[in-house]
Structure 1
Amino acid sequence: MTKYTHTERLNCDPSALWQVITDVAHWSMWDPEVESAQLEGLFRLGTKGTIKHKNGASSKFSVLMCDVGQSYIISTTLALGVEMLTKRTWEKQGNDLLFTTEITLIGPMAPIFMRMRKDGLSHNIPAGMQAIKTMVEPKVKENLGFAGDSKRGTAY
């Protein structure tokens, strides 16, 4: 088992964060690797979905754990029997939230995959979390014109 973890400090309402990270149809707005994503139902335990990556590849995922409003884990099967678990969670610290994304690769080839993907993960995970930060923090949203923006179908 091989892990990569990144944490960002956010100043936002937990429900705003939850809305963004579980809105699968809009993952491409903040995840640098995602071209599009879809979910076959509501975001809850057992629901399956598909991610189309910007490199042209597609992968299926399923929601393995969902503690509504607090955390989730999705599982994606990669090549050569490697399973990638993506855990997103937050905890309150003062007026802020500590938002963490943890990537875990499981399987005999996991160490090789991690070596191949480490640079991408160490760039794309922080970049995605910074994009989420701009979507959920009130002052940043107002400055960028996101507050009450209904053109995207969801006001972040």
Structure 2
Amino acid sequence: MKTIATAEITTDVPAAAFFERWADVATWPQWNTDTEWVRLDGPFRTGTTGRLKPKGGPATKFVITSLVAEREFTDVSLLLGARLTFQHLVTEDSRGRTVVAVQVTITGPLAFLWTAVLGKGIAAGLGGDLARLEAAARTAGVSA
């Protein structure tokens, strides 16, 4: 497994607001600038599959491999010869603030190729995407 990128924010926005944004996959392009569209084949829960279309790339299948409300959301994009994993962990710090950490990893025999193709873009955009997600979560209507 190779780590491509990590990002973290600490905020007063409640965890539930982040999960509301993640569950509404149609809004992902509003905060994830590399994404054209996202569709789920069922409810937002562990095991649900979907498709997403990165800007400038082909539509890709993905699966939600872990979903623990207000704690963790992990999705895996199924690339040819590789699996690209986005793990989102939500915790609370000692002052009661929400901490959202995102780690992007890749595995598989063609991971080296996908890292070369996607790695720099993901690494460059992850922090900004997380900041935009925080702004979207702040206005999502979930109160503390």
TM, length-normalised to structure 2 = 0.87
Who is 1:91 aligned against?
91
SS of the equivalent of 1:95 reads coil
Pair 1:62 & 2:63 matched: yes
The 5-angstrom pairing of residues 1-150 of structure 1 reads: 1-3=1-3, 4-79=5-80, 81-93=81-93, 94-137=95-138, 141=139
Question: After TM superposition, what 4+ stretches of structure 1 lie above 4 angstroms from structure 2?
Answer: none
* Per-residue CA distance 1:10-34 (angstroms, 9 max, x = gap): 2211111110122111111111111
Q: Which has the larger radius of gyration?
A: 1
SS of the equivalent of 1:42 reads coil
CA shift at 1:56, angstroms?
4.1
Letter in 1 for 2:127: P
In 2, the alpha carbon distance for the partners of 1:62 and 1:112 equals 21
Runs of 5+ unmatched residues, structure 1: 142-146, 149-153
Runs of 5+ unmatched residues, structure 2: none
Task: Tell me how many residue pairs correspond in the alignment.
Answer: 140
Q: Retained in 1: the 8 A contact 2:84–2:104?
A: yes
Please report the RMSD computed on the Cα atoms of aligned residues, expressed in angstroms. 1.9
TM, length-normalised to structure 1 = 0.81
Q: Retained in 1: the 8 A contact 2:20–2:137?
A: no
Letter in 2 for 1:130: A
Higher relative CO (CA 8 A, sep ≥ 6), structure 1 or 2? 2
SS of the equivalent of 2:44 reads coil
Q: Retained in 2: the 8 A contact 1:64–1:73?
A: yes
